[in-house]
A and B are shown apart, each in its own frame.
Chain A
Amino acid sequence: GENVEQHPSTLSVQEGDSAVIKCTYSDSASNYFPWYKQELGKRPQLIIDIRSNVGEKKDQRIAVTLNKTAKHFSLHITETQPEDSAVYFCAASHQAGTALIFGKGTTLSVSS
């Protein structure tokens, strides 16, 4: 089955810096790669996703890149703000709408 590895487990940055979180996956049949943000005590919420026919996707300060050959995908957050502090999870599945397998999460701390 699918296995998703995520690094780093914790990340501390200064406000305004960029943050990068990286994931690798094992199942070459995976084609859908979402990123979720989970604030303390709340449910995970989708922030951005990418499908295998796209190499990069951007939404304001957030971007995701995908390298299917290397089975890598990454989340990039620019101009970080204190409200970006949360746990971020990457995930993978064969297609959107099917069960997701999650990475172990990255706790991002943005200090002002």
Chain B
Amino acid sequence: SAVISQKPSRDICQRGTSLTIQCQVDSQVTMMFWYRQQPGQSLTLIATANQGSEATYESGFVIDKFPISRPNLTFSTLTVSNMSPEDSSIYLCSVAQQGTGELFFGEGSRLTVL
């Protein structure tokens, strides 16, 4: 199974600042996905990130607020820009296992915005 490392695991941020979350995978993967999980809620897809192309964002999420980079097949970043308390959430990186297509998740980055 894919091993996914996310940094930071948690952070407390001030309103109006930005934070970049990193996702590192131990194998090359074509597609990486970013999800948000608000407290006690389900997982909501933010965007799909393919290497070498612009990320594809879901309805309600825009590139200016959640810019994503995908410089290679093992790494991606998600930036949460101009944060407000409503952005307090767990952000999870996910990748699809080659062959089975099973989605594995990182441990998540818990952001608290004050």
Q: Which residues does A use to contact B, with CB under 8 Å?
A: 1, 32, 34, 42-46, 49, 89, 95-105
Among B42, B44, B107, the one with the most A-chain Cβ atoms within 10 Å of its Cβ is B42
Q: Does B75 contact A (CB under 8 A)?
A: no
**Would A104 and B41 count as touching, CB distance under 8 A?**
yes
**Would A96 and B42 count as touching, CB distance under 8 A?**
no
Beyond the given A89-B43, A98-B96, A102-B44, could you list 15 further A-B residue pairs with CB under 8 A, ordered by the A residue number? Answer: A1-B59, A32-B101, A43-B108, A44-B43, A44-B92, A46-B102, A46-B104, A89-B42, A95-B101, A96-B100, A96-B102, A99-B45, A100-B33, A101-B45, A102-B43
Given the complex of chains A and B, what is the CA–CA distance between A99 and B103 in angstroms?
Answer: 8
Given the complex of chains A and B, what is the CA–CA distance between A46 and B108 in angstroms?
Answer: 16
**CB under 8 Å from chain A, chain B span 58-94:** 58-59, 92
**Would A49 and B102 count as touching, CB distance under 8 A?**
yes
Given the complex of chains A and B, what is the CA–CA distance between A11 and B93 in angstroms?
Answer: 28
Q: In the complex, what residues of B have CB within 8 A of residue A34's CB?
A: 102-103
Q: In the complex, what residues of B have CB within 8 A of residue A44's CB?
A: 43, 92, 105
